[in-house]
Structure 1
Amino acid sequence: MLLWRGAGTMGLGSLLWFRDVMRMSGTAASRFMAVMPLSAAVVAGIAAVAYSDVRIGDDVG
């Protein structure tokens, strides 16, 4: 089950990503690529707060 969730979603996500990237300009694709690290950091922060006892101010200072 875990293997399917990892490989299945990664495979499907990659196929959809590459299909749509081939349809857009290089400028638009590079903008999406530039936003990916920021969006990953935001999602990781939300997951850390939502699924653990980490408080928002713990990592400051």
Structure 2
Amino acid sequence: MSKPDDLDRFKTVLSNMKKVTLQSQRNAEQISHELSKVKEQLTDVKAEHQKLKKA
């Protein structure tokens, strides 16, 4: 049987894991947003490149 301090440690570890998971999700959302912006910029650059090739 576990001791009360073991339970407290488990709760602390669980709480920390939840915090890390939430931070990871926020980071993933931010990276996804940045990737979308980069893709838009790449599309613009490709379009500009095509214009310059035709000129």
Q: Give TM-score, length-normalised by structure 2.
A: 0.43
**Could you say which structure has the greater relative contact order, defined with CA pairs below 8 angstroms and 6 or more residues apart?**
1
Q: Which protein is bigger by CA-based radius of gyration?
A: 2
Kindly indicate which of the two structures has a greater share of residues assigned to helix: 2
